Amino acid sequence: NWLLAHKARVSTNFGMGLEFARGIVKGLSRGLMGGLKQWFTRLPLQTLSKNIFLLFFALMMNSSLAEAGGLKETWYMYRGRENMKIGNYKAAIEAFDSAVKLNGENREAAQSLGLAYEKQGVVDAAVNQYDSFLTKWPDDPDIALRQARLLQWSRYSYRQSDAIKYYRLSLASKDDPQVRLEYADVLAAKKETSGQAIQEYERVLRRQPKSGAAHRGLAKAYAWNNDQDRALYHTQKAKEYGDQNT
């Protein structure tokens, strides 16, 4: 009965509420709570009417704020991409970091944040970001390879097992002889993994029989295992095929 008696007033305020909710999205930067407070101080409705409006307003704001968040995320992504193009990696980091904080499932933002850190030379931050990214999305061979190469730095020598893991992730998605050669070199660096290194070097040679670097690696791996005849054979092959490091 109350609604029927006040039909005109409720209808008017419903329309006003709709316009207000739409305006909030456009004016978020001017202060949501300030606008909300001013609205309710001017609202000439009884308590029940205010409760009806509040319910409606909450429903509207739920979708409106979600829309606003999406617009902010899109803006941050645009800023990040544009700053990457011009080499302003510091600004790109700020933009992609903001996008990730808005949406942790934004794969491009998470990937680009790591790339921006690496380009800026903030290596520790890049390594941490790549770790986080690959934990969630382990199917990216390019980021896995970047991480594996970064972990070859002497400061990360304690993470050799992680470097091996990321080389494997990269090779599982894209079998590249050069990457496999790098992977074999990591394995050949220690006696306990030199047996695995031999297998990887042999795989490289099946595709590139005249790879001096692969023969050099095999010479080292066989030397680890006290197989001097094979070590000498592959040393000679490395020289024959022009490996400058033999």
- The owner of tokens 């986080």 is 132
| pLDDT, tens digit, 9 for 90 and up, residues 132-162 | 999 999 999 999 999 999 999 999 999 999 9
Other CB atoms closer than 10 Å to residue 43's CB: what's the count? 15
Alpha-carbon gap, residue 4 to 46, rounded angstroms: 15
Q: What is the pLDDT of residue 4?
A: 42
Could you give the angle at the alpha carbon of 75 between the alpha carbons of 74 and 78, nearest 5°? 85
Task: Indicate whether 2 pLDDT > 90.
Answer: no
Q: What is the pLDDT of residue 69?
A: 63
Other CB atoms closer than 10 Å to residue 159's CB: what's the count? 18
Q: Which pTM does this prediction carry?
A: 0.70
Averaged pLDDT, 189-201 = 95
Q: Which is more confident, 12 or 193?
A: 193
44: pLDDT confidence band, cut at 50, 70 and 90? low
Q: Which is more confident, 174 or 126?
A: 126
Structural contact between residues 166 and 147, judged by C-beta atoms closer than 8 angstroms: yes
Q: What is the pLDDT of residue 38?
A: 54
Task: Indicate whether 52 pLDDT > 70.
Answer: no
Alpha-carbon gap, residue 146 to 118, rounded angstroms: 9
25: pLDDT confidence band, cut at 50, 70 and 90? very low
Averaged pLDDT, 175-195 = 95
